[in-house]
Amino acid sequence: MSRFRVLQFNMQFGQGWNDSDPDHAPIDLGATVAEIKRHKADIIHLQEVEHARPDGSHPPIPPNYSRLKAELAGYDSTFSFPRPDPRELPFGIGLAIFSRWPLQPATCINLPSPPVEFDFFGEKKTPTDRLLITAEVDIYGHRVRLMNTHLLAFFMLKSSSEQHREQRDIIEQELRKSSGPTVLTGDFNVSKHQSLIEQFGRVGFNTAQSEEITWRRMPYVLDHVFHNAPLQCVNCEVHPTPASDHHALVADFEFAE
């Protein structure tokens, strides 16, 4: 059997969902761990692993990632913060990849954000940069490239990633470098996702699903699992969960003949 399972999950630093007051829902990392474990994935891609500090600094030991590493015994893993930035808002940051197979050294690629001004509780702000992390892993004799990202939510800034394409274009450039089996997942924060699907489709990458919404706050498909032709997606499911404001995506892959 050459099938393997990928879990894509924006875990919102362990903050769950409360319909009546989502912004003040309790943090329960135990529920996050349970949600991750129940899917029995071979590859796990996570966004918003940590809760950003108001001053933009990073703790020397990421607490949530450390807990996940301890809980997910048998997985190799890598984690990256974005660049420290005093403009960081107290939301979720940090990307992680977990794998049942040993990971080759990861790379981190900075995704610059444009100086789009927005109001945050009466203060003028500009967004911080985002991140793409990549790693390689050998699965059943095939070298597979793994890519995980979390893009800026331009729609929340009354703008669009179609107007500011820099982050998407950097990822497209990285996709062009991949001829072997490649999986790209993430929270792409594109409200009108068809343009994103078409852009990555032109370089040979398809999304595993684009019909079911993946975010509780608005009816958007923000989360995706993209793959290229050397991989065949044999099943993809969206799993609503109270463990985050995002749903979990599970995709099963086989290697194409």
CA–CA separation, 7 and 43 (whole Å): 6
What is the 8-class DSSP label of residue 12?
G
CA–CA separation, 101 and 1 (whole Å): 16
Contact 134, 143 (CB under 8 A): no
CA–CA separation, 174 and 203 (whole Å): 10
CA 213 to chain centre: 15
Name which of 24, 97, 35, 44 is nearest 240 in CA terms: 35
Q: What is the pLDDT of residue 1?
A: 64
- 3-state DSSP assignment of residue 11: coil
Output b/e per residue, 198-231; b: 16+ Cβ within 10 A: ebbeebbbbbbbeeeebbbeeebbbbbbbbbebb
* pLDDT tens figures, 127-145: 999 999 999 999 999 999 9
**Entry pTM:** 0.97
Domains, the chain, ordered by start: 4-255 (3.60.10.10)
Q: What is the pLDDT of residue 177?
A: 95
* pLDDT tens figures, 91-127: 999 999 999 999 998 899 999 999 999 998 888 999 9
Give the chain's residues under pLDDT 70.
Answer: 1
3-state helix, strand, coil in the chain (%, to 5): 20, 35, 45
Neighbour-count burial of 173, counting CB atoms closer than 10 A to its CB (0-12 exposed, 13-18 middle, 19+ buried): exposed
Q: How far apart are the first and last CA of the chain?
A: 13
